Structure 1
């Protein structure tokens, strides 16, 4: 049996994309989609929140770069193993390489279809988590 998808942190500054991705993630079965409009909001939320099953992260944020936020997640004792999927309009090979160096588990360039997003999320979850929960 598949583990229940509980929580995803969605870090995206563009309201249109945040709503669209939030809807896609709810369609995938996530019970809680925490929509965070900036890197600072994400850092503040991560200080007190329970560990999510996935982080979806834009690279171009108004305050802290997605690369820096991803590195912060990888250094966090509680979040270091959480799968991170970068979803970004920055789609050059060097952007993907930099995201991978920062610790991202997957990368999806904008624009994309809901099917492409679903496949990428499922692949990242299959390959990197979430850990099986015991009842």
Structure 2
């Protein structure tokens, strides 16, 4: 059910799930690739859903999937600048995390030509250093 809510971006479904079971997000992985609900929301561009997830459980920002990707990697690769900003506000150090191929979120944004995301990530890296 959390996977379905993540795919649809339904904040109302998330709220209902959290009311039914406050430990819903403690069961981190929602796919076979160890992706969290935040990974799915970041990949699909569901900004309101991502914001709600981070509000419930901020540490999801730092979770890695089976490929070593954070939600920031996925939002960056897919050009979802609003989610990139949200994740960087929560923990800007995640912009330095490398996936299993050694790529940071900035590498992925450059590879995909995501100009707005590149600007956000460069700015965040300058602030972290």
Q: TM-score by structure 1 length?
A: 0.29
- Answer 1 or 2: higher relative contact order, Cα 8 Å, separation at least 6: 1
